[in-house]
Structure 1
Amino acid sequence: MPNTDRKVALGLEMVEAWNTQNWRKIADMFTPDGVLHSMMVEPVVGREAIYKRVHALSDGLESIELKIHNIGVVGEVLFVERTDTFTIRGKYGSTPVVGVLEFDGDLIKVWREYYDRAHLLKAMGLTTDFDQSSRH
């Protein structure tokens, strides 16, 4: 399988892990020193820290679906344009996101997420940020 196709397949595998709320698989798809960086908060570094972070998102989460609009590789980087839809504590919400993933072999080295944080928090029905490390 060409490298471009492999990266797209890995991106789709990650989306499926999110859609099935398989938090362990999500973390295991990162290198041991991998980085998950929602651009408006401090990056989460290390596979186990990533696991704790994504697993914490499951608190009150009833469903989540990452709906892909466009996915492709530019250079060595995978870009995923999507809308994340979710139900948390009985409230349905959605937010548009672009994910940018860099790989080391078949593992994610860096995953950057770009979205409107205020929009996400409102969609989640929150009046304060759930992430204490966010920048204001």
Structure 2
Amino acid sequence: MPTPDELVRDMCRSWSDPDPDRISAFFAEDAVYHNIPMEPLIGRPAIRDFIAGFLTTFDAIDFDIHHQVANGNIVMNTRTDTLRGAGRTTPLPVMGFFEVAGDTITTWHDYFDMATINRAFGLEG
């Protein structure tokens, strides 16, 4: 069984060649995924559907983890997520918080600037 640190790193790497089923399999059935500027997603099916919807706009995300610390079942990282799609890349500075139980992620909170996402989706000038 992977350590919490390894599990989070593996999940982050999986976004570079994304498959919604493969990515959502990292999460517990009742996991919470919360991009803090947005409403939380609760449950593996909701997380899977969000990922599938996200991939209609972007091809992939490359997670560049700058620092990651783990203490027991808690993992925190700072990273730059580079969103790839429509012939462009959008770097997004992120701080992530994860809780792990066994071999699944039970909680994932990401903190980032929503204005960067809006620009990436063409919602702001």
Q: 1:84 to 1:6 in 2, by over 3 A?
A: same
Number of aligned positions between the proteins: 124
What is the CA-CA distance between 1:120 and the residue it aligns to? 2.2
Distance 1:40 1:75 in 2: 27
Per the alignment, residue 123 of structure 2 pairs with 127
- Scaled by the length of structure 2, what TM-score is found? 0.90
Per the alignment, residue 61 of structure 2 pairs with 64
Match of 2:13 among 7, 11, 16: 16
Q: Is the CA contact 1:91–1:125 (under 8 Å) kept in the aligned structure 2?
A: no
- AA aligned to 2:15 is W
Per the alignment, residue 105 of structure 1 pairs with 102
Per the alignment, residue 44 of structure 1 pairs with 41
SS in 2 for 1:61: coil
Runs of 4+ in 1 over 3 A off after TM superposition: none
- AA aligned to 1:120 is I
SS in 1 for 2:21: helix
Q: Which ranges of structure 2 fall in alignment gaps of 5 or more residues? A: none
- AA aligned to 2:67 is N
**Which range moved further: 36-45 or 67-76?**
67-76
Q: Is the CA contact 1:17–1:23 (under 8 Å) kept in the aligned structure 2?
A: no
What is the CA-CA distance between 1:60 and the residue it aligns to? 3.1
Distance 2:37 2:82 in 1: 20
Q: Kindly, what percent of the aligned residue pairs are identical?
A: 28
- AA aligned to 2:44 is R
- AA aligned to 1:127 is L
Distance 1:87 1:8 in 2: 25
- Scaled by the length of structure 1, what TM-score is found? 0.83
Cα RMSD (Å) of the superposition? 1.7
Distance 1:41 1:103 in 2: 22
Q: Is the CA contact 1:103–1:109 (under 8 Å) kept in the aligned structure 2?
A: yes
